[in-house]
Amino acid sequence: MEIVEAKTKVSIAYTLKEMSGRILEEIPPSHPFVYIHGYDNIIPGLENALEGRKLGESFSVEIPFNQGYGPYRDDLLLQVPKEELQEIGELWLGMELEMMQDNDIREFQLPDTADEFFDGLNLDDEDDADGIYIVKEIYKDTVLVDGNHPFAGKDLIFDVQVINIEEPSFTELETGFPDRDENFDEGSDYPDSYDDHYDGFDDPDNRSRRWR
């Protein structure tokens, strides 16, 4: 296949930068990021920019925050009493927690599966504050957690190269994600993109934050 279009499996290499030129993340051609095009599983600005691109093509695109990871939301920065996190156990900077709230009752837990990471990222400006939160600071009696994506509020530049375009499998078309044996490490619940492509925010041992 030669053209990026809906329902194609696309492999890309890229360098992600702030507008100042500071590099946030690099994915080399030897270990490209793989996704299924047209399923809204990457940020809209990048998916739109990839539409119609040719195999082997390289390009740069500036993506404003509203087409990327959304605005930074102050309401997603929370001071949580440690007593609410007693069931979590050990806490560390960069740790990711899933928050669920029902009326006035909220609960934090460790996400169990990759799908919870995919579905839980707070990438829009909706009122719903459920989702994935990163531990930012640990104090004596409280913990500061942030539900914003690390790139929220940032205008970004992607330097992209289209490495491969192929027809997805039936399972990939059904799920919208590359097959497990391709993007998951054996014996792990997390895609290898978490391990190989981790952007280094906060704690290098916590590798479950998805940049998309």
Quick one: which H or E segment has residue 116?
helix 114-120
The values of phi and psi at residue 131, to 5°, are 145, -160
Question: Could you tell me the residue ranges of all domains in the chain?
Answer: 9-69+152-196, 74-146
Q: Does domain 9-69+152-196 have CATH number 3.10.50.40?
A: yes
Distance of alpha carbon 94 from alpha carbon 192, whole angstroms: 18
pLDDT in the model for residue 84: 93
Task: Provide the percentage of residues in the chain whose pLDDT is more than 90.
Answer: 69
pLDDT in the model for residue 209: 35
The values of phi and psi at residue 9, to 5°, are -95, 120
> Which three-class secondary structure state does DSSP give residue 160?
strand
Give every CB contact of residue 183 below 8 A, 6+ residues apart in sequence: 34, 177, 191, 192, 193
Distance of alpha carbon 132 from alpha carbon 98, whole angstroms: 5
Which range has the worst mean pLDDT, 14-18, 36-40, 199-203? 199-203
**pLDDT tier at 126, thresholds 50, 70, 90:** low
Distance of alpha carbon 66 from alpha carbon 107, whole angstroms: 29
Residue 107 pairs with which residues in a beta bridge?
Answer: 100
pLDDT in the model for residue 13: 98
Residue 122 pairs with which residues in a beta bridge?
Answer: 148
pLDDT, tens digit (0-9, with 9 covering 90-100), for 95-106: 999 998 887 788
Q: Say what the pTM is.
A: 0.73
pLDDT, tens digit (0-9, with 9 covering 90-100), for 156-212: 999 999 999 999 999 999 999 999 755 444 333 333 333 333 333 333 333 333 333
> Which three-class secondary structure state does DSSP give residue 4?
coil
CB 37 within 8 A of CB 177: no
pLDDT, tens digit (0-9, with 9 covering 90-100), for 50-68: 999 999 999 999 999 999 9
> What mean pLDDT is reported for the chain?
82
